[in-house]
Amino acid sequence: MFELIDANIAKHITLSPQELDHFHSFLHVKKYKKKQFILQAGETSHFQGFITKGCIKNYILDEKGHEFIMYFALEDWWVGDIMSFYERKPGNLFIETIEDTELLTIDHQSNEQLLHDIPQFERFFRILIQRSAYTLQQRFFNTLSKPAEARYLEFVKKYPQVVQRVPQQLIASYIGVTPEFLSKVRAKLAKKSSKTEAGS
């Protein structure tokens, strides 16, 4: 039940068995079917979640209705609209399942209690956010400074599991191009590699 989340936390902080039990007492299981919303823009996020099974997309919708994917998350990832959750006001993020998904969740009040009772969690979440901010910074830089082909290749290399599990149009959104253009990029790459493979 808690193996995955305990291991996730142990990457950054060390807790006593009692502290772990206390932490577990705050958690709830939530289950979602494929293509369900975990959160919609305009809502206030009442919990943070940790994925024990499944796959989600976290995105913003622009005025034309285009999805702009902030991130995908699979097993062993934390998900949520952090600003909405901590500031207790409506956010602009959608979180939607791509597969049937199971979360361990912690609600706002429990989270405050947890941070109070075990201040190490303050550090834990700081580290998580720090890393996600760094990743976002690098992605932003790459998106503005490298062509779509390079971004696609980096994505495939960095998130091979995601490539297996989410439709290509969503990967296009993540790397910041239209599905049509990603399709062309892939066609060009396929031609290149077939040449390399000496016409087999």
Partner DNA sequence: CACATTTCTTAATCTAGTTCAATTTTTTGG
Partner DNA sequence: CCAAAAAATTGAACTAGATTAAGAAATGTG
Residues in contact with DNA by the rule CB under 7 A: 34, 64, 147-149, 167-169, 176-184, 186-187
- Is the Cβ of residue 84 or residue 173 nearer to DNA in the bound state? 173
Strand partners, 96: 37, 57
From 3-11, 30-38, 140-148, 180-188, span contacting a copy of itself (CB under 8 A):
140-148
Q: Applying CB under 8 A, which of residues 56, 70, 74, 166 lies at the interface with a copy of itself?
A: 70
Q: Applying CB under 8 A, which of residues 21, 122, 168, 187 lies at the interface with a copy of itself?
A: 122
How far apart CA 25 and CA 7 sit, in angstroms, is: 17
Asked if 45 contacts 84 with a C-beta cutoff of 8 angstroms, the reply is yes
From DNA, a copy of itself, none, which one binds at residue 13 (CB under 5 to 8 Å depending on kind)? none
In 3D space, the residue among 195, 198, 185 whose CA is nearest the CA of residue 153 turns out to be: 185
In 3D space, the residue among 6, 14, 23 whose CA is nearest the CA of residue 115 turns out to be: 23
Site string for a copy of itself, 6-35 (x = CB under 8 A): ------------------------------
Least distance CB 102 / a copy of itself (angstroms): 26
Residues that bind a copy of itself (rule: CB under 8 A) add up to a total of 30
Q: How far is CA 15 from CA 6, 24, 29, 113, in A?
A: 9, 12, 22, 16
Name the E strands within 4-140: 28-32, 37-39, 47-53, 56-61, 67-73, 78-79, 94-97, 101-107
Can you tell me whether residue 37 is helix, strand or coil? strand
The residues binding a copy of itself (CB under 8 A) are 60, 62, 66, 68, 70, 82-83, 86, 115, 119, 122-123, 125-127, 129-134, 136-137, 139-141, 143-145, 176
